[in-house]
Amino acid sequence: MRQLFLFDRPHRFIAGTVGTPGDRSFYLQAVDGPRVVSVALEKQQVAVLADRLEQLLDEVVARTGTALPAGEPDNDALQQPVDEEFRVAAMGLKWDGDTGLVVIEAQAPVESIAEAEETLLEDVEDGPDALRVLIEPADARSFVDRARKLVSAGRPPCPLCAQPLDPAGHVCVRLNGYHRDVTLTDP
């Protein structure tokens, strides 16, 4: 039986992390009153969601000719404790023209790609667990801004190979596997 965590205009919908750069875990978290749902995902999934969300909002503006307002920034940490419901395998995104809301769904792993396609953003009884959030366009813009800052706040890239630098250095592929000592400084 599928468990669908549905949030219609929650108080908060954010991407956040637990841990230090290089050892962070990424989460999507929806909060509405005492109800909190957190799902784990990869850093790249956060980046892709932000990009696609921005594209969707820009397309809505282009089609309707109506500017969408910017929301209030949410710079607060994830609500603690962070209890992971599931790890995200697939995500869906759509614009609900009837309500003027953005619909975001994060879905747990499934047996096949076909099953993910059949159940993503659909109201079905059987299928993988999912977090579905309906948010105002202004909140979606705020999500994009926060997600981009979150993704860029990681370790700086090596100037030679672009791989993330660790405080102790790293094995640089451009130096044929030799260890590269680096000094990380705050900008």
- Give me the residue spans of the domains in the chain: 4-154, 156-187
Could you tell me which of 150, 166, 152 has the C-alpha nearest to residue 26? Answer: 150
Given a cut of 90, whether residue 15 has pLDDT beyond it is: yes
Euclidean distance between the first and final Cα of the chain, in Å? 49
Question: In the CATH hierarchy, which top-level class contains the domain 4-154?
Answer: alpha beta
Given a cut of 50, whether residue 146 has pLDDT beyond it is: yes
The C-alpha atoms of residue 114 and residue 163 are separated, in whole angstroms, by 34
Specify the pairing of strand 12-18 against strand 25-32.
antiparallel
Q: Average the pLDDT over each of 25-29, 117-121, 179-183 and give the range with the smallest value.
A: 179-183
Angle between helices 43-64 and 137-152 (to 10 degrees): 140
pLDDT value at position 71? 83
CB 105 within 8 A of CB 131: yes
pLDDT-above-70 percentage for the chain = 92
The alpha carbon torsion through 161, 164, 166, 167 (nearest 10 deg) reads 90
Given a cut of 50, whether residue 187 has pLDDT beyond it is: no
Could you tell me which of 105, 89, 100 has the C-alpha nearest to residue 30? Answer: 105
pTM of the model: 0.83
pLDDT value at position 181? 55
Considering the chain, what is the average pLDDT of its residues?
88
Mean pLDDT over 56-72 rounds to 88
* Residues 94-119: tens digit of each pLDDT: 999 999 999 999 999 988 888 878 88
